[in-house]
A and B are shown apart, each in its own frame.
Chain A
């Protein structure tokens, strides 16, 4: 019977001065299971292990973690795809404070999300029915609205590690563009103005870690490129209108 070595990041603020890696040797499951199922197995043997989970099908974004060095969702990552030499390393998402074990404090991540005003802004009187939108215009939101706020992208981004308070980060920028791209939203100019400082968007250097880890196959880097183009265009418009 072959065994599997799972190295798990452990930290309990009440008992541990420092975090440490703990090795669990378990019997290799007879069928391919997800990393989340593996954690359930470990937790049955050691109930002190903490991690977040909810939908277990990749839509709620609870169980983002660092799996063998790469961020991903535990519930949709088959162990077969990550086992290396019969070993799996599981760590919390990098760059955010650890509360306990695999649970990180996501306050800074959520704060950046709130900063971009992640809601439709349209002050015109709403019609009695829906606001109309052509299928082509609606298509512009595809690849944007599907974000599940798992933070895999932002916590794999060196620019976000460096300036989590000032660089909005790929997840929130993807949502910023989701509203910029929505024909029903009328606050593009204000939104761009809010992003025009040297940090919010321009700290993105196209490293593309966000794209490589996104469990929903979204492309924050592309959205950031679009925002940069819009920022330039907006600047040109303002200059043309108001003078330099």
Chain B
């Protein structure tokens, strides 16, 4: 293959570039489509194939439908507590207070929400939800379209982007960021998967809306496409990542298959049982039982299994019991779950419980941003925004989820911050300014990785190295973590990096070459995995999803802070958590019990 360089590729110029066509990307693009700015959404899959489509249970927001007295401040309190107090309270306040507007907008766009008898949007209880700042009992705050809320949301957003005439570069793969001499982001190198044509997509603003990276683990609810492409690009460009040790393990992934079974099952009245048929969450969370935070439930399940009360031949999973809800409720409220369970667990939940196990689900960390979606790096103790670079959704860490995300908050995060990012980019571009152009050598630098793969003549096989990476993360950085094991994991990752640097793609064809894409994705996974590993090893405490059996207690004195991973030095530093919301008093750290 010929070397690709700045002199033989075309340049396509835009005002704004959105990398990723999922919920946050399409919410941002919708905002920009209406503005008249020249925008392109670069998506490696047709937008409705994005992972947002798999979200089930709903979008949590105080729209005062199930409870006319509901209050976004209660939602904020729950979110701060769920985050184990390292979520930024200015961002959480923004999300919870702006949320209702953003949800009603979706309804006006046509999202087919389920309804209450009075015609308002149906809301169901989810874990970690309370009324009156934890004192008023369980709330029902998760707005739902049956158990297909993500599908309904993603399609509605795509439909409205069609309506507004958004410009999509579908099945284009973004390879690396392009930076100018001032370290500002001026766009990306990308190629059309269909034709193999490479281009420099130049833009004033580049948004990373590339979603999560759950495929760093062997067992995950995430789609095969969730390979952390945006974060990989940012890390390779030397930009930091925040809170990467914080990975959510969803309590109910289908045993063996990994497919998600919504928390809405427990919201509707389902519960977990061990091999003795005992509803064990009554012991771990006496007040809210199966609706405790996801981290709490996942750990309780693992403890049950470790103590020999797991179900099945190998005693390595537990059961989610739903049959007592009756066929009518299951068919009306959880039809998708019934379908998934029959397909992947060979179990009909109307009659039998579903075998489930905690499964990697969500990346709380990501590229650090402010509430406008502007990505930043650090200089001493200051946040320095990176001109030209934005991030939103799971790829970003704004940080509303802190150490543990509450169910239903991720869809809210997508639309609130996708929208905010789109709005801010308009302001920024309309106010003039602009970035210096990148030089030819800057562009060539961003083409290096692609050229190296294209020109490979020997090396490691992608599928094989990916398996090693996923096994390493699963073994050493799972639900429970221990320093000595993690040290070994970090060492193994060094060897795996050697291999990902030397992958061999034997297929050199241009048209729809998926093995080239998979090799590039694996290199992104490695960046994310390494950031995760180093951050997890350094954080010497247990908080939220990060549970260490060698440091079992939360340590507010030393670790009531974000972690910032610097990919150049591969070291971790601390960043203060925001305790300065604008409209309410801050919620101080307290013991987190459910």
Binding site for B on A (CB under 8 A): 12-15, 43-44, 47-48, 50-62, 76, 99-101, 103, 105-106, 110, 114, 117-120, 122, 126, 128-135, 138, 141, 145-146, 148-149, 179, 182, 184-185
Note all chain B residues with C-beta closer than 8 A to A182.
110, 112
Q: Is the CB of A99 within 8 A of B512?
A: yes
CA distance A19 to B463 in the complex (A): 27
In chain B, residues 464-509, which have Cβ atoms closer than 8 Å to a Cβ of chain A? Answer: 505-507, 509
CA distance A122 to B108 in the complex (A): 8
Contact of A47 among B63, B110, B506 (CB under 8 A): B506
* B51 close to chain A: CB less than 8 A: yes
Contact of B49 among A55, A135, A179 (CB under 8 A): A55
Could you name 15 residue pairs across A and B whose Cβ atoms are closer than 8 Å? Answer: A12-B511, A47-B515, A50-B512, A54-B45, A60-B51, A60-B223, A99-B194, A119-B162, A120-B159, A130-B65, A134-B115, A134-B119, A135-B114, A138-B115, A185-B110
Q: Is the CB of B110 within 8 A of A149?
A: no
Note all chain A residues with C-beta closer than 8 A to B121.
130
By beta carbon, the residue of chain A nearest B467 is: A44
CA distance A43 to B505 in the complex (A): 13
Q: Which of B148-156, B356-364, B376-384, B532-540 contacts A (4 or more CB under 8 A)?
A: B148-156
Contact of B45 among A47, A59, A62, A76 (CB under 8 A): A62
CA distance A185 to B53 in the complex (A): 23
Note all chain B residues with C-beta closer than 8 A to A138.
112-115
Closest 5 CB pairs of A and B: A120-B110, A132-B119, A130-B107, A119-B159, A47-B515
* B460 close to chain A: CB less than 8 A: no
CA distance A79 to B49 in the complex (A): 23
Known: A53-B224, A119-B159. A132 touches B110 (CB 8 A): no
Known: A51-B514, A129-B63. A12 touches B107 (CB 8 A): no
* Majority secondary structure of chain A interface residues (helix, strand, loop or mixed): loop
Known: A54-B223, A59-B53. A141 touches B340 (CB 8 A): no
Contact of A119 among B50, B110, B461 (CB under 8 A): B110
Chain A proximity of B158: nearest CB distance (Å): 8
* B351 close to chain A: CB less than 8 A: no
Q: Is the CB of B155 within 8 A of A126?
A: no
Note all chain B residues with C-beta closer than 8 A to A106.
46
Note all chain B residues with C-beta closer than 8 A to A53.
224
Q: Is the CB of A130 within 8 A of B48?
A: no
Contact of A48 among B49, B118, B507 (CB under 8 A): B507
Note all chain A residues with C-beta closer than 8 A to B108.
120, 122, 126, 130-131
Q: Is the CB of B49 within 8 A of A54?
A: yes
Q: Is the CB of B112 within 8 A of A54?
A: no
Contact of A60 among B54, B65, B109, B512 (CB under 8 A): B54
Contact of B115 among A119, A120, A133, A179 (CB under 8 A): A133
Interface size of B by CB at 8 A reads 60
Note all chain A residues with C-beta closer than 8 A to B163.
117, 119
Q: Is the CB of B45 within 8 A of A145?
A: no
* B370 close to chain A: CB less than 8 A: no
By beta carbon, the residue of chain B nearest A13 is: B511
Q: Is the CB of B110 within 8 A of A184?
A: yes
CA distance A132 to B117 in the complex (A): 10
Note all chain B residues with C-beta closer than 8 A to A134.
115, 117, 119
Chain A proximity of B162: nearest CB distance (Å): 6
Chain A proximity of B159: nearest CB distance (Å): 4
In chain B, residues 164-190, which have Cβ atoms closer than 8 Å to a Cβ of chain A? Answer: none
* B160 close to chain A: CB less than 8 A: yes
* B510 close to chain A: CB less than 8 A: yes
Contact of B107 among A44, A117, A131 (CB under 8 A): A131
CA distance A12 to B109 in the complex (A): 41
Q: Is the CB of A59 within 8 A of B511?
A: no
* B225 close to chain A: CB less than 8 A: yes
Q: Is the CB of B509 within 8 A of A12?
A: yes
Chain A proximity of B349: nearest CB distance (Å): 16
Note all chain A residues with C-beta closer than 8 A to B336.
59
By beta carbon, the residue of chain B nearest A130 is: B107
Chain B proximity of A12: nearest CB distance (Å): 6
Note all chain B residues with C-beta closer than 8 A to A135.
114-117
CA distance A131 to B461 in the complex (A): 54
By beta carbon, the residue of chain B nearest A102 is: B512
Known: A114-B162, A148-B48. A141 touches B343 (CB 8 A): no
CA distance A182 to B259 in the complex (A): 31
Note all chain A residues with C-beta closer than 8 A to B159.
118-120
Note all chain A residues with C-beta closer than 8 A to B155.
145
CA distance A99 to B54 in the complex (A): 27
Chain A proximity of B108: nearest CB distance (Å): 4
Return the CB mask of B187-212 against A: 1 if under 8 Å, else 0: 00000001000000000000000000
CA distance A176 to B109 in the complex (A): 16
Q: Is the CB of B107 within 8 A of A55?
A: no
Chain B proximity of A110: nearest CB distance (Å): 8
